[in-house]
Amino acid sequence: MLNEALRLMRTYHDLSQSQLSVELGISNSHISEIEAGKKTPSIDLLNKYSSRFDIPVSSLMFFSETLDEKISTDRVRRGVAKKVISLLKWVEKKEAAQRVCKCAMSTIKNYPIDQCALYKVRSKARLSGILGISLKELIILSRKNNNYRIFQLGEETCPFTGKVTKSRTVQEPKPDLKKVHSRIQKLISRVAPPSYGHAAIKGRSYRTNATHHLEAKRVATLDIRKFYPSTKKSLVRNFFHDQLLCAPDVSDLLAEICCFTQRQGGHVLSGLPTGSPLSPILSLYVNKPMFDRLNSYGINKNLVFTCYIDDLTFSGPTLPRDLVIEVKKIVFSFGHRVALEKTKIYSESQAKHITGVTLVNNELKVPHSRFKKVRAIEQRIRSIPTSDTAERLVLHRKLAGLLGEAAFLDARYRSWAQRSYSDLRAALQAAK
């Protein structure tokens, strides 16, 4: 069908209906009606599609279901053959472009886990050489009680949106330990990641995480409670021993180095530190057996599964009634708990919120709360005297950061983001 061909053309080029409407000089609603089959595109509009996507109108028309029955069979055959050839040439050009893209992506080099520098480390001396620290210093670090700067981030209410952020404790490794953590993080990050993981992986982000669920009718999002602290030292030790096949004493030492330990009410608690650069990627691999089980469950139920640190997302044409119960069981069997109060189930007609992104009509959108915050900051900037350069600079930085993130999700914000960068440069000059 011609309407479906036009829709596929747009989505193939990663364009939203709004973006394409601007480029073609027509309304968003007009494109929507054409793609839904409610309106027939004019020849003039087809020519615009042809020019924009570099494909002949004849190839577009090939997708149409109707052919003039009065035309002879031979003429039809010859005409269709030409159109097929034209279409194949177009596809060939696009595939060539994709190969160039893949070639560029190949700069992101990953390798199997058995090629990791930490694989099958059999001695502590060998480990110290890999980490670039003397064995004596490494042992001392593993035994020190003051390796972390511990501080509390108090509860905050955003002055622009009213959103409340709960207080939390941060364990930030001090410079010596942070250097070792960064080295381990660099080595583990080079391992080929599982397809469902999207956090702390080069080339992936919360945007790619949400993109996997674009076409879904139903979506479920769940959150693992206190994910880093509940990723116990024993699990970390098992990762180095069972997946990286390190010697037992090496695995023990690595677990000591990577985890934060504290005493609380007569109990010793030990898990991943909340303020370390290592924790995001290490939490993925340490908990990979659990995530693999969740992914297998999703596959068996014809669902797509992704995770972004502690955020779990399942999507599909339908969702099993017992999905939350089954996910809860799997997560609990690996020593974690699902935060049931944060669980969300979205129907086909609802906007779906997935880790910093909103899905609306199969398109990625900036969450409305972020849009409101941007508008509130702009209003606040306008109310501040130009003489108060310090406060204006702080707000311009916030605004540029928010709009830069919005433009990363939605191209319609790019010009707005560019203006905010220009305003920020002006604010920096004024503050000098």
Q: What's this model's pTM, rounded to 2 decimal places? A: 0.71
pLDDT at site 78: 54
pLDDT at site 32: 81
Map residue 288 onto helix, strand or coil.
helix
Q: What is the pLDDT of residues 313-336, one digit of tens each?
A: 999 999 999 999 999 999 999 999
Q: What is the pLDDT of residues 180-191, one digit of tens each?
A: 999 999 999 999
Q: What is the pLDDT of residues 137-151, one digit of tens each?
A: 999 999 988 999 998
Q: What is the pLDDT of residues 236-291, one digit of tens each?
A: 999 999 999 999 999 999 999 999 988 766 667 789 999 999 999 999 999 999 99
Q: What DSSP string describes 226-259?
A: THHHHSBHHHHHHIIIIIS---HHHHHHHHHHH-
Map residue 196 onto helix, strand or coil.
coil
Map residue 319 onto helix, strand or coil.
coil
148, burial (CB in 10 Å: exposed 0-12, middle 13-18, buried 19+): buried
CB-based contacts of 90: which residues, under 8 Å, 6+ apart?
A: 54, 55, 56, 59
In order of 99, 194, 203, 432, the CA distances from 105 in angstroms are: 10, 17, 8, 41
What is d(CA 344, CA 346) in angstroms, rounded to the nearest whole number? Answer: 6
pLDDT at site 57: 67
pLDDT at site 92: 47
H/E stretch holding 313 reads: strand 311-316
